[in-house]
Amino acid sequence: MQSYPAPALARVTEMAHAAAADPARAVSFQGAPGCNGHRAALEWDPACLPLPCFSFEDALDAVKDGRAGHAIIPIENSQHGRVADIHFLLPESDLNIVGEHFMPIHHALMALGDGPFTAAYSHPQALGQSRFFLRTRGMVPMSYADTAGAAAYVAELGDPSVAAIAPKIAAELYGLKVIAENVEDAADNMTRFVVLARDARDPASLGARPMMTTFVFEVKNVPAALYKAMGGFATNGVNMTKLESYQKGASFSATTFYADIVGAPGDPAVDRALEELAFHCKELRVLGTYPQERPRG
């Protein structure tokens, strides 16, 4: 908590106390009050008690430790790709994905002064989503732990020559002027969040709603292993909407894959596809089955 800039710390303390009084309603997120994770928590559950956490690990630990019933974590952005480290953190957390939430992302440039500005602070994702805006104005992108935290930091610095890129609400929270709205480079900028809990959802309890299943796997180190592993999804007509690879460890000898499919265990086609996948894998772990918030395909 002490890592937050002073303008944010009082609000963090207040929200943490409210969450501690009713942990089951608490939804942890990474960032200072006013960040996109804060917005996502309230959109996903308007009755929740948002719990700010300085890092993604802290947000996940809050659920593991029982200080929050759920965590909401950004996993990918339509313009800037996957959020760094999330593919490592989710399997290591031992939590289960129980939901997803899509949220349009709109950034504002905010500062104490009116400009010109030499630099802009924000989360690397927001900086990447606004890189054309910054480049054409000669502003140096400066990385910060989260968007709203960057706004609080600029308020704390007291330097009118620097700005922050954050949700518009952060300017109201930390006494900054909104210099420009919608500074993101793409109007259809969208972030997908996943919701995590300690207990997995039973696919049978989700009814007839379309569902998603997320899993990670590592194929055996033999020729054409990935091709063979993917064959079961094609032959069984299971739609794989996402497949990403990342290195596990420093040896570069083993690649782990992260995947989303439409469907759930218990569906015969999904069961057959996962069974065939497991045959070609050294490791397979389902991270969760949850209702589909947005249609795929």
Residues tagged active-site: 191, 193
The DSSP call for residue 249 is: S
Query: What is the C-alpha separation between 222 and 7, in angstroms, rounded?
Result: 55
Query: What is the C-alpha separation between 45 and 97, in angstroms, rounded?
Result: 16
The strand pair at 119-122 and 140-143 is best described as: parallel
Give 29-97 as a DSSP string.
EESSTTSHHHHHHHHH-TTSEEEEESSHHHHHHHHHTTS-SEEEEEEEETTTEEPTTHHHHHHHHT-EE
Which helix (DSSP H) or strand (DSSP E) does residue 195 occupy? strand 190-197
* Cβ burial, residue 267 (10 Å; 0-12/13-18/19+): middle
